Amino acid sequence: MSNLFTYTIRIADSALILGQRMAEWCSNGPTLEEDIALSNISLDLFGQANGFYEYAAQINGEKSADELAFTRNEREFFNYQLVEQTNGNFGKTIVRNFLYDSFIFLFYTELANSSDERISALAAKSIKEVKYHLRHSKNWLIRLGDGTDESNKKVQDALEELWQYTGELFEMDTIDTELMKKNIAIDVSKLRPKWNEMIDSTLKTAKLNRPEDGYMASGGKKGIHTECLGFLLAEMQFLQRAYPNAKW
């Protein structure tokens, strides 16, 4: 596996897995309008995943975009652990997405300058969508944080629960550093100060407290996941696995 291939499917995997989580909201939203908004976000994410998978398929030539999505095992998925976390209540979904959206917005903004034309184009296209996702999760976080005591408690609890998955967003490994030499990849560790600013100012407006940095999970980029990913994949890949010779 080339570094470029791995780098590309990492991006695709996070988009796909979060898209899949968001799709679980369909017909379960707190209002009809919100149901539609959540589906929109999911559709954007599937579109982004598809774009990056198609490029990865081209780089590697072994598996098509669909095969990459539907026939790899848990240990071969390289998404961040944050995005695979279950939806929980609406507040947990909002917290998870806000933590991620803030990061991925900064990430794509930098990645749009990649020397790899396809990556830079895919990133540029994603920025607009992610900007909307960030506005959505941020506005909801503020509404829920500064809404009722009940809603404030629910999102604060979710923050405490999910904080441990934010550490790995800024981890670098050799694939990143190798590709950085060619100006293809970006230095995610450098996104941290800006991300901190975004998080702190929103949490303040939302009347929420930033959790202490305690245990920080790690491993998504190496294919180490939390227990919930296996169930997600089993459901998502069921048809492709059960009927390997079928075309759909």
Site residues for other proteins per CB under 8 A: 16, 20, 23-24, 26-36, 39-40, 42-43, 46-47, 49-50, 53, 65-66, 69-70, 89-91, 142-144, 146-148, 150-151, 154, 235-236, 238-240, 243, 245-248
Q: 218 by DSSP, 3-state: which?
A: coil
Nearer to other proteins, 216 or 239 (CB): 239
Nearer to other proteins, 91 or 220 (CB): 91
Helices and strands (DSSP H and E) totals, the chain:
11, 0
Least distance from C-beta 113 to other proteins, angstroms?
27
DSSP secondary structure code for residue 190 in this structure: G
Q: Are 206 and 155 in contact (CB under 8 A)?
A: yes
Nearer to other proteins, 89 or 218 (CB): 89
Least distance from C-beta 179 to other proteins, angstroms?
25
DSSP secondary structure code for residue 211 in this structure: P
Helix axes 228-236, 3-23, angle to 10 degrees: 80
- The CA distance from 146 to 168, in Å, is 29
Least distance from C-beta 186 to other proteins, angstroms?
26
Nearer to other proteins, 20 or 166 (CB): 20
Nearer to other proteins, 68 or 119 (CB): 68
Altogether, the residues listed in the chain come to a count of 248
Nearer to other proteins, 216 or 234 (CB): 234
Q: 132 by DSSP, 3-state: which?
A: helix
Please compute Rg for the chain using Cα positions.
18
Least distance from C-beta 194 to other proteins, angstroms?
27
Least distance from C-beta 61 to other proteins, angstroms?
18
- The CA distance from 184 to 167, in Å, is 23
Least distance from C-beta 87 to other proteins, angstroms?
11
